[in-house]
Structure 1
Amino acid sequence: MTRTLVVTNDFPPRPGGIQAFVHNLAVRRPAGSVVVYAPAWKGAAAFDAAQPFPVVRHPTSLMLPEPSVLRRAADLLRAEDCDSVLFGASAPLGLLAPALRRRGARRLVGITHGHEAGWASLPGARGLLRRIGDGVDVLTYLGEYTRSRMARALSADAAARTARLAPGVDETAFHPGADGGAVRERHGLTGRPVVVCVSRLVPRKGQDALIRAWPRVLAAVPDAALLLVGGGPYRADLERMAAEEGVTGSVVLTGSVPWEELPAHYAAGDVFAMPCRTRRRGLDVEGLGIVYLEASATGLPVLAGDSGGAPDAVLEGETGTVVPGRSVPAIAAGLTGLLTDPGRARKMGARGRAWVEREWRWDVQAARLGALLEG
């Protein structure tokens, strides 16, 4: 059995999408086959004690590809009898790959996310990404967008050795039977058509475009409500925009919500929307958008923006629709079309649920990782 050392800056209890991605893969590996090396983080001791595998913490909250990290990783590789290494995020720790191979690692796999695609566009970082690709046996990608972006920076050999590995969805937590009634009642949304967006409140995610589009939606569906779930630095700006548009009474911002309450918040909606857009000349881009898939698993039709890999999380016309993230008219038209045709919306939600069950369950992704680690 392959025994894997997971070297990662991104791991719970630090919150975040990459952290959840790496952890969900790790817990689905066979018993006794994983050791994790990750940075220190508040609450780590209690979290680590509950894991089904050893977690060794670096003394600081950030790990860089430097001698102290290499030394600890190499010591763990030898002490724990690991024959493979998985980099939870290839940039920058994947730069350690050649040195760890010399110290006994037989197989090295690097996971990439959205930021590695950004590295491919920057002159200095591009060369580092090329070195990472040459140093590992497999570099994974989220979808076609991130694959094509990274391929420009990789050597031909490394590009030929890439493989798709995307985050999964817990289809047992996110499902059509989830009850959103209490969330609707809490926010005065009972009986109203609801568009829900679950995401961190930052400009790229497009909550501002939803608010700008909302007067047009209300013209067609007067009792509709917009439920914005999540916290973030953009909240005050969004509240100001809602006031400027005169829609404060039909826009609800919940603030941050614990993970265990997210299924109910998805279920409180009739339509899911996150019209993300690319910013900063392609450096601030959506890698995939797992929230679209969680919404599909809950049985909701989705409206996605066209940033980066977001379209990879939607079957156009089947599970939802993709619109230009900067086009307020397109966003309004997409939402209005779904809210005024509930039969079509339900069919899209059902197709989305079936697609998640077929392609996006965590067990499917874990099996893909297993094959990559075995080589």
Structure 2
Amino acid sequence: MTPPGGPPEPNGTARTLIVTNDLPPRPGGIQAFVHGLAMHRPPGSVVVYAPRWPGCEAFDGRQPYQVVRHPGALMLPLPAVARRAARLVRLHGIETVVFGAAAPLGLLAPTLRAAGARRVVMLTHGHEASWARLPGPRQVLARIGAHADVVTYLGEYTRGRLERVIDPGKLARLTPGVDTTVFRPGAGGAEVRKRLGLSGRPVAVCVSRLVPRKGQDVLVRAWPRVLRAVPDAVLLLVGGGPGRRTLERSAARLGGSVRFTGPVPWTALPAHYDAGDVFAMPCRTRLGGIDVEGLGIVYLEASATGLPVIAGSSGGAPDAVRHGETGLLVDGTSVEQVAAALVELLSDQGRARAMGDRGRAWTTREWSWPLVAGRFAELLAP
């Protein structure tokens, strides 16, 4: 842990404090989003206050921003967290506080304003859109939003949910960015294929946490249909999660045509995307809309790697895919639709390659980190 302290930057760059539960080395899309925002600010202008996570010491030491770790693995809007965050505001002359996720840590905003912060920016993701649907959480979210200067949203789906609860004048679009120099064709997929014995075989890859919303169970159920049309195809499931044992039991009858890698370090993810011919994550909305995909950065990372994508038409996922151009949108609950999309793209290499090329061009043009960093800088300014 880097100890707190130090004066504001001599070049006059106002210091920003990011308060977040989501930061690498903990894996996940929100974690990568928050890290990317901090990385693209001027060196030394950002302090991040985040929970401890295995491997955080090595990660923190490599960053151009300062990280202060909370003693535990989770931060809640409780007095101890409020005191530590307020101390950081005072020590560093913080002018702007960014909450990596508005709910629930945004409840700390009044305390941090009292400590000296002049501006509060709150990021939202899929779970805030879910909170907006439920009476109790909706009231808390309204309270959180009342103390913000800016509340960001990922796309039209999340905006539509949030504007029912938060002043629409505070809402501003801010999406994750994609590093197209890291996620790119030729990022190491050949080595992954060789190591796993997949060279020369058609591969559908899914990179995500193994939970029901992401749809790996539907991929496994659809796989026998895929094998009838593409007998040597392989489904590569990259990631860990509570659903792994159930998925492995379901896939056991399919022999070696379904492979599980388990958790993969963030630095190895580009190579695992690049090991695929098609990316598929047929996400679906669950629990009456409470469990929903906010956007799906994995679709954009796959597109940047030159893969066509198959996405479930759930929540904000359609914002990350151009149906028929960069990939296909399917009903994530339909085994038939998922299987048909997989067969279509695994069988037609020319169409798949053309979609992948268009996807890479689109992410480079509209989702690159320099563009996102510019939008973020505008939101931080008073």
TM-score, structure 2 as length reference: 0.92
2:251 to 242, 249, 254: 242
Structure 1 residue 172, shift from structure 2 partner: 1.1
Whole-Å Cα distance in 2 between the matches of residues 177 and 12 of structure 1?
A: 25
Structure 1 residue 327, shift from structure 2 partner: 0.5
Q: Deviations over 1:322-362 (max 9, x none)?
A: 10000011111111111222111111000100111011122
Structure 1 residue 195, shift from structure 2 partner: 1.0
2:93–2:116 CA contact under 8 A, matched in 1: no
For 1:26, give the aligned amino acid: A
For 2:105, give the aligned amino acid: L
What is residue 124 of structure 2 aligned with on the other side?
112
What is residue 205 of structure 1 aligned with on the other side?
214
Q: Deviations over 1:138-168 (max 9, x none)?
A: 00011111111122222xxx22221111111
What is residue 98 of structure 1 aligned with on the other side?
110
How do 1:43-54 and structure 2 match up within 5 A? 43-54=55-66
Residue 91 of structure 1 aligns to a residue whose secondary structure is coil
What is residue 228 of structure 2 aligned with on the other side?
219
What is residue 325 of structure 2 aligned with on the other side?
318
What is residue 259 of structure 2 aligned with on the other side?
252
How do 1:120-135 and structure 2 match up within 5 A? 120-135=132-147
Residues 1:274 and 2:281 are matched in the alignment: yes
Residues 1:26 and 2:26 are matched in the alignment: no
Q: Deviations over 1:25-55 (max 9, x none)?
A: 1121012311122223344344333332332
For 1:6, give the aligned amino acid: I
Whole-Å Cα distance in 2 between the matches of residues 102 and 254 of structure 1?
A: 48
Judging changes above 3 Å, is the alpha-carbon distance between structure 1 residues 130 and 228 closer, same or farther for their aligned structure 2 residues?
same
What is residue 232 of structure 1 aligned with on the other side?
241
Unaligned runs of 5+ in 2: 1-12
Whole-Å Cα distance in 2 between the matches of residues 292 and 114 of structure 1?
A: 15
1:180–1:265 CA contact under 8 A, matched in 2: yes
2:44–2:66 CA contact under 8 A, matched in 1: no
For 2:157, give the aligned amino acid: Y
Task: Identify which range, 255-264 or 104-113, moves more after superposition.
Answer: 255-264
**RMSD, aligned CA:** 1.6
What is residue 159 of structure 1 aligned with on the other side?
168
Unaligned runs of 5+ in 1: none
Judging changes above 3 Å, is the alpha-carbon distance between structure 1 residues 127 and 187 closer, same or farther for their aligned structure 2 residues?
same
What is residue 5 of structure 2 aligned with on the other side?
none
What is residue 84 of structure 1 aligned with on the other side?
96
What is residue 371 of structure 1 aligned with on the other side?
378
Structure 1 residue 59, shift from structure 2 partner: 3.2
Q: Deviations over 1:110-145 (max 9, x none)?
A: 011111111111211101111111110000011111
How do 1:348-367 and structure 2 match up within 5 A? 348-367=355-374
Q: Share of identical aligned residues, percent? A: 68
1:239–1:248 CA contact under 8 A, matched in 2: no
2:292 to 280, 285, 288: 285
Task: Identify which range, 17-26 or 124-133, moves more after superposition.
Answer: 17-26
Whole-Å Cα distance in 1 between the matches of residues 66 and 264 of structure 2?
A: 29
1:2–1:374 CA contact under 8 A, matched in 2: no
Structure 1 residue 9, shift from structure 2 partner: 2.0
Q: Deviations over 1:263-294 (max 9, x none)?
A: 22111111110111111111111111111111
Structure 1 residue 188, shift from structure 2 partner: 2.4
2:26–2:53 CA contact under 8 A, matched in 1: yes
2:219–2:338 CA contact under 8 A, matched in 1: yes
Judging changes above 3 Å, is the alpha-carbon distance between structure 1 residues 235 and 135 closer, same or farther for their aligned structure 2 residues?
same
TM-score, structure 1 as length reference: 0.94
Equivalenced residues, count:
370
Structure 1 residue 63, shift from structure 2 partner: 2.2
